[in-house]
Amino acid sequence: MGTDRSDIKVFLACKTPKVEEAEYASWDTSFDDQIQSDILVGLKSNKELLDSIYIVKKTLSLFPNIRIVDTVCQADLVITVGGDGTFFQTVSSLQDENSPVFLSVNGSPSTSTASFSACTANDLQCCLSSIFFKESEEYAIATLTTLLVLVEKSNACINTIAINDVLYTSQNPGQCTNYRMSFPKYKKSEKQKSSGLWIATPAGSTAGIRSAGGYIEKNLSKKEMQYRVREPYGIIDLLGGRCDAINIINYSNPGIVCIDGSEPIRIEKGQTVQISIGKSVNIIKSNKTIASDEYSLRKKT
């Protein structure tokens, strides 16, 4: 992505909040202080997101070599405005033959952490100038390993990408999760009972799996995933580790699969989940964030 290109095709992905309905809603005096506080925070976040979208569009118009396109598959650069959820959903729509660079802009920095964001809307011009024209070394392109998740249901197969992690568990959080886990490469398998399984990419190693006893993976492009059993029941040999593929047969009635914190996918008894290494995704990250991540990793190791 440089000045040798006659133009750079950009796809802009964002969720436009419905501010008007909430902004002019009549306030019910029976609301307690906490509910009113939550609504006010929501309104502030919505307005902040709308302002961010406006600033992003205005900033893009300052670059004559940028051309806005209608679909992800046409783009050289995909810019998402929002949080990590918007970024995850946009990446999951990626087709196999496409490999654009992704830039996540935190649309609500006062209320959203947005771990995968490189900048806010106010910093976008500096970020693009750094990438396009090498005006600074503040931003760089990093490569993330993804997971390819195949959920085999009786009437269909769901095929999608995970950027962070996959959680497999029982639909009822109070019930034991019953399943068989196997590793095709190592020809190992084990029937287990537990609270479920975390399977994470290197980028997702600092998320839910870490609280279950997982380790932090420093190399975000490493072609490996890690798995971790949550609250094992009885004696279990395969508690956690690295692998390049994992298959799960669900014996719970029913089980669920959550991909990057999305809405759960229900799976019935006997149905399977296959997880393998997916394609790499290139994203723009702040070098300050990368340096901060490495510093925190050194402190923890």
Higher pLDDT, 187 or 284: 284
Give pLDDT, residue 299.
Answer: 41
The pLDDT tens digits of the residues spanning 38-70 come to 444 445 557 888 899 999 999 999 999 999 998
Which of 252, 286, 287 lies closest to 271 in space, CA to CA?
A: 252
Find the range with the poorest average confidence among 81-85, 130-134, 257-261: 130-134
Can you list the alpha helix ranges (DSSP code H) found in 200-274?
208-211
In order, the DSSP letters of 95-153 are: -TT---EEEEEES-TTT---TT--EEGGGHHHHHHHHHH---SSEEEEEEEEEEEEEE-
Give pLDDT, residue 113.
Answer: 82
The pLDDT tens digits of the residues spanning 269-298 come to 999 999 999 989 999 998 865 444 443 333
* Cα dihedral 293→86→271→190 (10° resolution): 0
- State the Cα–Cα distance between residues 100 and 92, nearest whole angstrom: 13
Give pLDDT, residue 119.
Answer: 95
Which of 133, 150, 134, 293 lies closest to 217 in space, CA to CA?
A: 293
Residue 26 has pLDDT above 60, yes or no: no
Query: Of 3-12, 88-97, 98-107, which has the strongest mean pLDDT?
Result: 98-107
Residue 260 has pLDDT above 90, yes or no: yes
Domains and CATH numbers, the chain: 8-136 (3.40.50), 146-279 (2.60.200.30)
Q: Which helix (H) or strand (E) holds 51?
A: helix 33-60
Confidence of residue 183 (pLDDT cuts 50, 70, 90): very high
Confidence of residue 73 (pLDDT cuts 50, 70, 90): confident
Mean pLDDT of 209-216: 92
Q: What is the mean pLDDT of the chain?
A: 84
Residue 4 has pLDDT above 70, yes or no: no
Higher pLDDT, 15 or 230: 230
Give pLDDT, residue 32.
Answer: 45
Which of 139, 127, 130, 134 lies closest to 55 in space, CA to CA?
A: 127
Query: Of 41-45, 96-100, 157-161, which has the strongest mean pLDDT?
Result: 157-161
Confidence of residue 154 (pLDDT cuts 50, 70, 90): confident
| Residue 11 contacts residue 72 (beta carbons within 8 Å) | yes
The pLDDT tens digits of the residues spanning 113-151 come to 888 999 999 999 999 999 888 877 889 999 999 999 999
Residue 25 has pLDDT above 80, yes or no: no
Confidence of residue 3 (pLDDT cuts 50, 70, 90): very low
Confidence of residue 186 (pLDDT cuts 50, 70, 90): confident
- Rounded to whole angstroms, the maximal C-alpha distance in the chain is 63
Residue 193: CB atoms within 10 A of its CB come to 16
- State the Cα–Cα distance between residues 255 and 32, nearest whole angstrom: 37
Give pLDDT, residue 97.
Answer: 64
Mean pLDDT of 246-268: 93
Mean pLDDT of 65-93: 90
Confidence of residue 193 (pLDDT cuts 50, 70, 90): very high
Higher pLDDT, 18 or 263: 263
